Amino acid sequence: MSDLELKPFNVREIREEFPALRQQIYGKNLIYFDNGATSQKPKLVLDAINLFYSKENANIHRGVHYMSQKATTEYEAARQRIQRYLGARKSEEIIFTKGTTDSINLVAYSFGLSLSAGDEVLISAMEHHSNIVPWQMLCERQGCTLKVAPINLRGELIMEEFDKLLSKKTKLVAITHISNTLGTINPVKEIIEKAHALGSKVLVDGAQSIQHMHINVKEMNCDFYVFSSHKVFGPTGIGVLYGKEELLDRMPPYQGGGDMISRVTFERTTYNELPFKFEAGTPHIAGGICLGKAFEFLESIDMAAAERHERELAKYAEDMLDTFEGLQIIGEAKNKTSVVSFSVKGIHPFDIGTLLDKQGIAVRTGHHCTQPLMDFYGIPGTVRASFAFYNTKQEIDTFVEAVERSLSMLK
């Protein structure tokens, strides 16, 4: 459990924990709507980063001196906190990586070695490039086939078509839990049940879900779940691969080096036990410790209330933007969360984003690493406003006024 007291959800109190939100950009109070790209950091995390490098900096696992042992204890305590938060059975099932992309590449290489010609990998049309390219590379290496389940114009997976593509040839389904561009929440539990019935394993890309909803990998029954620290209020450069112990045990190491070994001779190397088998070299120690602090912060928040708040923000923003002539919301799934992407006929999203920036509003413009999705909608990109639990309806009011002002200047 968290060392912090669980309090009723209060967005104003939460905002006080995030120093970056209390600054001005071009003389305007910052409105940060780029949480899908990276989240801001609470004081608990920022203080922990400073404390580690100021007084506790030491390498871990192999030192006998006090600072090394203290750093090791805190690093492994962070792993255990993440294990408990995710509902994983063992801390050994939590592998520290560089981030979501690194986690997916680890599975694509290591689990991928068990695939061969005739096997298939199934993804969806709404995937981030990080959940497309590693599987393309795997298929090229192993001679397997990549299948893509289509979506409808609302941005929802067409389950009838997914069912047709899923077969006994499917060895892995890799699916985003929440689309970073559309906000669509995919029915991952249903997908996992269907895949398992045919003997397929499932990787869930949780880069956009871990920060928005309660996650329990045991209840979900996914085989792999991956996410990045920096999107869940922690530092950059570190992430997590959760994998079922029996699968990870069978998978060969992804990289070789220090700490992932049991014994090395010039003739033969034996590998370390989990989780260290997949953690070669000196890790991002401060990152791991501070990711643990980010989860401590999350444990102090009523996440069910936070999720309702974020969905209300998205609905509020969509209803207001929908009144603008020539503006199209991209991604209108019935089940979606706090992402609003839109395009405006005849105006490039970059131009809108630039004018919003001058008004102190941070949004993301472009293809959001989902170029095949942009091709599906026939657009070069979108303006994406992505919300966190520290955002407010008042900020959305200011944002909508700024969009209206920007469009009047560009038309």
Task: Please give the pLDDT value at position 270.
Answer: 86
- DSSP SS3 for 227: strand
pTM beyond 0.85: the answer is yes
Instruction: Give the span between the Cα atoms of 229 and 193, in whole angstroms.
Output: 28
Q: Are 250 and 266 in contact (CB under 8 A)?
A: no
Task: Please give the pLDDT value at position 277.
Answer: 94
Strand partners, 151: 157
- Minimal CA–CA distance to 336: which of 103, 151, 104? 151
Q: Are 36 and 384 in contact (CB under 8 A)?
A: yes
Instruction: Give the span between the Cα atoms of 343 and 365, in whole angstroms.
Output: 10
Instruction: Count the Cβ atoms, other than its own, within 10 Å of residue 265.
Output: 7
Domains, the chain, in order of start with CATH, read: 11-41+302-405 (3.90.1150.10), 47-299 (3.40.640.10)
Q: Are 15 and 390 in contact (CB under 8 A)?
A: yes
User: Averaged in consecutive runs of 10 residues, what is the pLDDT profile of the chain (411 residues)?
Assistant: 75 97 96 98 98 96 91 97 98 98 98 97 98 98 97 98 98 98 98 98 98 96 98 98 97 89 85 91 96 97 95 97 95 96 96 97 96 96 98 98 96 78
Task: Please give the pLDDT value at position 4.
Answer: 74
Q: Is 369 a catalytic residue?
A: yes
Q: Are 103 and 205 in contact (CB under 8 A)?
A: no
Query: What tokens appear for 295 in the block?
Result: 């989860």
The 10s digit of each residue's pLDDT in 326-363 is: 999 999 999 999 999 999 999 999 999 999 999 999 99
Q: Are 129 and 105 in contact (CB under 8 A)?
A: no
Q: Which one of the listed residues 144, 222, 290, 369 is annotated catalytic?
A: 369
- Using left for φ > 0, alpha for ψ between -120 and 50, and beta otherwise, residue 215 falls in beta
Task: Please give the pLDDT value at position 2.
Answer: 59
Q: Are 339 and 384 in contact (CB under 8 A)?
A: yes
Task: Please give the pLDDT value at position 293.
Answer: 98
Instruction: Give the span between the Cα atoms of 197 and 191, in whole angstroms.
Output: 10
The 10s digit of each residue's pLDDT in 61-93 is: 988 899 999 999 999 999 999 999 999 999 999
- Minimal CA–CA distance to 127: which of 383, 379, 376, 369? 369
